[in-house]
Structure formats: structure tokens, C-alpha cells
């Protein structure tokens, strides 16, 4: 992997949750570039280069919330799994939903993990730290 870092896209509508992730990244010294979209539709536009043409490399990891306005997480997942260019992206679900149905739907769409957002900051930081280690361990195909 060298010094080349993978891009990470956070799809999250709650401002505090965005801040939460950013704060957790900072605490764990995660320096990967982090892009933020507020719903599925925005994220889809972002990935297809319709939103910010200056970004040339698509993220290889997406942190995805499920309950969002305009386009929810599961719907967004379906869209990218249908898209030849986007279907290889690793997706981690980060949500408050503890429903079996959501979990089943998510794993049917090939997610890399399903993480429940804990209430306390401490445990969230632990979770992000674990994730960071995991990303670092993984190999990603060359573009």
C-alpha cells in the first residue's frame, strides 16, 4: 500500500454523526481523505463524478448510514451493486437500526460489515480504530 491512502466516503445525514466520525478519525490518527455526502442520491452523484469534477479517484471504502432522506442506505447499495464501475467498493454499514431485516438486506448486498452506532464516544472510537486496522490490512486492486 505504501504511502498511498485509500479514499473514504461517509454517507450520513446527521451533522453530529459526521462530526463524530471525524473526531474519531482524528483520535485514531486516521489520515485517509474523507468525503462526506448527506444522502444516497448525493453519494451516487459524487461517485459518478457529477458533483465535484476535481476528484479523480473514487473512494474504495464507503461508511453508510441506513436511515437517510431522499435515498436510504439499502437503496443506495442496490444502485451501486448494479453499476459495473462501482460494485467493487467495500461498504460498511454504520447505523442505529438493530433490525434483522436491515441486517439481512445489507448482507444480501455484499457489505463488508454492519456496525451499530454505540451511544458512547469511547466505544465508537474503539470501533473506528478496529476498522482502521482492518483497512490497513486489506489489499485493494490497482485502478
Partner 1 sequence: MWESIINRIYRMKIGTRTAISYFAVIMVVLTFTTASILLLQYAKNIDIKIASNFSPVISAIKDYQLLIEESGRLSAEISIQANEAKTKRLIKIHQRLYTRQKSTLIGLCQEPGLSDIKKRIISVDKRFENTLKLQKQLIELMNADSAYRNPMKMLEAKTIKDRIDSEINKLKLVLSETTLQAISVFNKLDAQKFASYRTLSYLLLIMIIVIAILAAISILITNFTIIKPIKELNAILDEVGEGKIIQFQSDAPREDEIGDMISSAQKLVQGFKNKEQVANAIGKGDYDIKVPMLSRRDRLGKALSEMRDNLKLSKEKEAENIKSLEAYNVSLMKKNKQLEEFAYITSHDLKSPLRGINNLTEWIQEDMGEKLSEESNAYFNMLRGRAHRMEALINSILQYSRAEKTKENQETIASKSVVYEVLESLDLPENISILIDDALPNVTANKKDLTEVFKVFISNAIHHNKSIEPILNISAQQIGRMVTFCIADNGPGIPEEFHEKIFTIFQTLERRDEVENIGAGLAIGKKIIEGYGGKVWVKSEKGNGAKFYFEWPA
Site string for partner 1, 17-56 (x = CB under 8 A): x-xx--x---------------------------------
- Torsion-angle region of residue 103: left (phi > 0), alpha (psi -120 to 50) or beta? alpha
Min CB(96)–partner 1 separation in Å: 5
Contact call for residue 123 and partner 1 (CB under 8 A):
no
Distance CA 90, CA 99 (A): 22
Q: Please name which of 75, 122, 73 lies closest in space to residue 96, comparing C-alpha atoms.
A: 73
Min CB(3)–partner 1 separation in Å: 30
Contact call for residue 117 and partner 1 (CB under 8 A):
yes
Site string for partner 1, 75-104 (x = CB under 8 A): ---------------------xxxx-----
Instruction: List 63's β-bridge partners, or say none.
Output: 10, 92
Between the alpha carbon of residue 90 and those of residues 64, 65, 120, 123, the distances in Å are 10, 14, 26, 23
Residues of this chain that interact with partner 1 (CB under 8 A) are 14, 16-17, 19-20, 23, 67, 96-99, 117, 119-121
Amino acid at each position: 500500500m505504501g504511502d498511498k491512502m485509500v479514499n473514504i466516503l461517509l454517507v450520513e445525514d446527521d451533522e453530529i454523526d459526521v462530526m463524530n466520525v471525524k473526531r474519531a478519525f482524528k483520535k485514531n490518527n486516521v489520515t485517509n481523505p474523507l468525503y462526506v455526502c448527506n444522502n444516497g442520491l448525493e453519494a451516487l452523484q459524487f461517485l459518478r463524478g457529477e458533483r465535484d469534477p476535481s476528484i479523480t479517484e473514487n473512494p474504495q471504502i464507503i461508511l453508510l448510514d441506513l436511515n437517510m432522506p431522499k435515498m436510504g442506505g439499502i437503496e443506495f447499495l442496490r444502485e451501486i451493486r448494479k453499476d459495473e464501475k462501482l460494485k467493487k467498493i467495500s461498504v460498511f454499514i454504520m447505523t442505529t437500526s438493530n433490525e434483522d431485516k436491515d441486517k439481512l438486506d445489507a448482507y444480501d448486498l455484499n457489505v463488508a460489515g454492519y456496525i451499530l452506532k454505540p451511544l458512547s464516544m469511547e466505544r465508537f472510537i474503539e470501533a473506528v480504530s478496529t476498522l482502521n486496522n482492518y483497512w490497513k490490512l486489506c489489499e485493494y486492486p490497482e485502478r
